[in-house]
Amino acid sequence: MDRSASAVGRETAALSRVQGAIGTPAVVKAAHGLSLFGEHSAGWFALGLVGAAVDRKRRKDWLVAAGGVVAAHAASIAVKRVVRRPRPDDPSVKILVGTPSKLSFPSSHATSTTAAAVLYSGLTGRSLVPVLVPPMLVSRLVLGVHYPTDVLAGSALGAVLGGVLRRRLRRGRR
């Protein structure tokens, strides 16, 4: 077995263990809700629009941040098309939600969620990353649609893109 097959085997085993350990009906239901909210970054974009409506003083910043979340999502899709890693497909893993594509790396949900958490943290003055990011990442594993490295890479991509835009927004306010 080559290294990549061995790595996929370890990730599949980890994914199966996550599902077995925490894949209760309540957790799966919550994961479905997160999946729907994060689909195509729509929920995070909508939250940015709400921020723009409520925080009129920084409306432009909220709109730029919301656009940044969508851009992060688009970047993850571009990477998916280059990498072309297939989603998990093993009898030990239950696929519990439909997906818009068969491509897995990186997780677009993880990318847009992390970008939103980073950007909206800068606008709210509260660290949203520890509250928003882990549940979304775990939800993708519980639903069986991503390997652990997919969600970690997606989160890293979202953190970098969100961080760059957040710094630009901060500089623009000075």
C-beta of residue 133 within 8 angstroms of C-beta of residue 59: no
The CATH number given to whatever domain includes residue 32 is 1.10.606.20
**Cβ neighbours, 10 Å, residue 128:** 18
CA distance linking residue 169 with residue 64, whole number of Å: 8
What pLDDT, on the 0 to 100 scale, is given for residue 108? 97
Contacts of 143 by beta carbon, 8 Å cutoff, 6+ apart: 28, 31, 32, 35, 95, 96, 97
Residue 100, domain extent: 3-173
Length of the chain: 174
Nearest to 169 by CA among 79, 55, 73: 55
Pairwise CA distance, residues 27 & 126, whole Å: 26
> What pLDDT was estimated at residue 114?
98
| Number of domains the chain is built from | 1
- pLDDT per residue of the chain (174 residues) written in tens, 0 to 9: 455 668 778 999 999 999 999 999 999 999 999 999 999 999 999 999 999 999 999 999 999 999 999 999 999 999 999 999 999 999 999 999 999 899 999 999 999 999 999 999 999 999 999 999 999 999 999 999 999 999 999 999 999 999 999 998 888 666
Q: What are phi and psi of 86, to 5 degrees?
A: -75, 155
**H or E stretch covering 52:** helix 42-54
pLDDT, position 112: 98
Return the structure tokens found at 133: 């990011």
**Using CA atoms, how far apart are residues 123 and 146, in angstroms rounded to an integer?**
30
pLDDT of residue 8: 79
Task: Give the pLDDT confidence score for residue 159 in this predicted structure.
Answer: 97
